[in-house]
Structure 1
C-alpha cells in the first residue's frame, strides 16, 4: 500500500491509519530504504524514531531517485533488500513512477506536489482536538503549496469543505475548496493553517499587493480561531502575528503527533496481519 498522494486513498484508508495511532501493534521485521532530500528536521526526527519503535532497521540511500536509471530497473534491483521505502523527493513524477514500479510500499515523506504525512498528522489533530473535520471550518491562508495541495486532496477524499484565502491570481477551481480574497474573508472559522510561501514570494510581497501575511487583525476578524502554522514559519513573511504570543496557537507539542501518525502510516503501509486481517502483508509479494 503506497502513500504518494492523498487522493489515491479511500476514506476508510485514512480512518484506518488514524485508528492505528493509539492501537497496540506488533513489532515489525524488515529494513526501510530511507532517502531524504533537504533538511526536514521534524519529519526526519520522527520517522527515524518510528522505525526504531517498530523494530525496523533502516538504510540511508542518499538521492535514491536522482539516478539516471529507469524506475523499473531501480526497483527491480533494490526490492529484494527492502521492506518499505520512505522517500523525500522533490520530483513528484519520479517518485510516483518508482512507486508504480516497486512491489514494496512507498511512502512520500514530501515532494513538490504534496506532504501527505504532515497533513494526515495535522488533520488528525484537528479532527480529534478541535472539531470533527466533517463539522469544522478549516481555513488555509496563502497561495497553494505542497502542504495545501495535500489538504486539497484530503478534503476531496473525506468530503469536507476548505476555505483558502489568497489573492485572486492564485485562485483555482478545485473540488471541496472555496477560494476567497483576504479582504472578503468572513469568519468564524475553527482553525487557520499557514505554510511557507513559495520561492520568490518575498519579491512579490515587496513590489505587489497580492501576498498577504496573516495578521492579528485577520485572526480577530475570523473569530480568533486556533492557529496551526506549518513549520518552518517566518515572522514577517507568511504571518506577522507571533504564534507564541497568540492565545489560540496550537503549540509546539502538536507536532509530537508526527511520531504516532507516521508510525501508524508505516503499520498501514506494511499491512501487518493484526492491523489488516483481510489485506495480507504486501512486503511478502
Structure 2
C-alpha cells in the first residue's frame, strides 16, 4: 500500500502545499483561457459521501471531468458500506477498480482505516476532525489576492470545529499567526493546539482576535450532526457574529472568508458576503482548482502497490 493520501494538511511539507496552491492557480488560468488539459483521461475517482454536500461534490466531479476523467458518486444508500460492510473490505475492493477515492464522512477514523487498506490515493473531503481541501482553496485565494500569508495574522471566529482545526494545521505549515475567538468549552483540538505552540492564541473577545488581522474566517455555528444543539449554540455564539463593524477592527486590507453554506443573520450579518472585503465566491470557486491540482498530483503521478 504505497499510495500517497491527503487526509490532513500535515501529511505534506510546506513546499508541497505551496506547490499545490500555485498549481491550482495555473489550472485556473488554463480553464479561464479555454485550454483543454486532460492528464487524467480514463482515470476514475470514487466519491463516498456520508454527509450531504454541494461544493465538495460539484468541485470534485467537475474537476475530474475537466481533467479528462470521470467521478462516481456513492452515498450510503448506494453501497454496502451503508449496510455494514467493513471499511477495510470496501477499501480493498474499491481501490482495485478506481484510481483514487474521496471520502466525506463523520469519524476521521473511517478515513484512516480506508486509507490503510487502499491501493490508491484517499482524499479527505471532510471529516468531523478536519477539512484540508477547504484550506487548500482558502490559501490559494489569499495568495491570489494578497501574496504570501507567511507572517500574517489570521482570525478564526466561532466554533473550534474541523475548519478551525485545519486552520491550525495551515498556521503550522504556512507560518502565520492564528487568533481563535470561541466561547469557553468550544476550543479546537487540544493536541493540535499543543503542536502549534505560540502560533495559535485563544481569545474570548472577537474584537481582540481580529485586531490587525489580514484574514478573518468563520463557519456555521452548528455543523452537520449537531442540529439538536442548534438552539443552545445560537445563544452561546451570538456574540461571535462577524459583521462589517467587526471587520473594521482588522487590518485595512483584510479579507473575509466563509467556507459556505452561510447562515446569514447567524454567524455573519445579513450583508457581510456583499462587503468588498469578502472573497467567499472566489474562495468557493477555488475548491475546484485546488482540488484539480491535488488530483493531478495524486493520480497522474501515483505509483500503486
Q: TM-score range by the shorter chain?
A: 0.7 to 0.9
Query: Pick from 43, 50, 55: which aligns with 2:68?
Result: 55
Deviation at residue 179 of structure 1 after TM alignment:
1.1
The residue number in structure 2 matching 1:18 is 21
Counterparts of 1:27 and 1:84, CA distance in 2: 14
| TM-score normalised by structure 1 residue count | 0.87
List alignment gaps of at least 5 residues for structure 1. Answer: 274-280
| Alignment match, 1:160 | 176
How many residues align? The count is 275
- Within a 5 Å distance, the mapping from 1:139-150 to structure 2 comes to 139-150=155-166
| Equivalent runs, 1:17-56 vs 2, <5 Å | 17-21=20-24, 22=26, 27-28=39-40, 29-56=42-69
2:275 matched to which residue of 1?
246
**Residue 240 of structure 2: SS of its match in structure 1?**
coil
Counterparts in 2 of 1:8 and 1:50: CA distance versus 1, 3 Å: same
CA distance in structure 2 between the aligned counterparts of 1:204 and 1:88, rounded to whole angstroms: 24
Q: 1:37 to 1:233 in 2, by over 3 A?
A: same
C-alpha deviations, 1:44-75, integer Å up to 9, x for none? 11111111011212223322554533333222
Alignment check: 8 A CA contact 2:151 2:175 kept: no
Q: Which residue number corresponds to residue 190 of structure 1?
A: 214
Cα offset for 1:76? 2.1
Partners in 1 of 2:17 and 2:237 — Cα distance?
38
Query: Structure 1 pair 32/186, CA: closer, same or farther in 2 (3 Å)?
Result: closer
Give the drift of 1:19.
3.0
Alpha-carbon distance between aligned partners in 1 of 2:234 and 2:73, rounded to the nearest angstrom = 39
User: Is residue 155–residue 210 contact of structure 2 (8 Å, CA) maintained in 1?
Assistant: no
Q: What is the CA RMSD across the aligned residues, in angstroms? A: 2.3
Higher mean alpha-carbon deviation, 178-187 vs 232-241, is at 178-187
Q: Which runs of 5+ in 2 are unaligned?
A: 31-36
Q: Of 181, 193, 199, which residue of structure 1 is paired with 2:204? A: 181
| Cα distance per residue 1:58-101 (max 9 Å; x no partner) | 22332255453333322222222111101111121111111111
Assess, with a 3 A threshold, how the Cα gap between structure 1 residues 215 and 167 changes in structure 2: closer, same or farther: same
Q: Which whole-Å CA distance do the structure 2 matches of 1:260 and 1:71 have between them?
A: 29
Residue deviations 1:207-234, cap 9 Å, x none? x577521233322222452211221111
- Compare 215-224 and 84-93 and name the one that shifted more: 215-224
Return the alpha-carbon distance in structure 1 between the equivalents of residues 19 and 275 of structure 2. 34
Q: Larger deviation: 4-13 or 240-249?
A: 240-249
Q: What is the correspondence of 1:106-255 to structure 2 with a 5 Å cutoff?
A: 106-171=122-187, 174=193, 175=196, 176-182=199-205, 184-185=208-209, 187-198=211-222, 199=226, 200-206=229-235, 208=236, 212-223=240-251, 225-240=254-269, 242-255=271-284
TM-score for the superposition, normalised by structure 2: 0.81
Structure 2 distance, partners of 1:16, 1:67, is 40
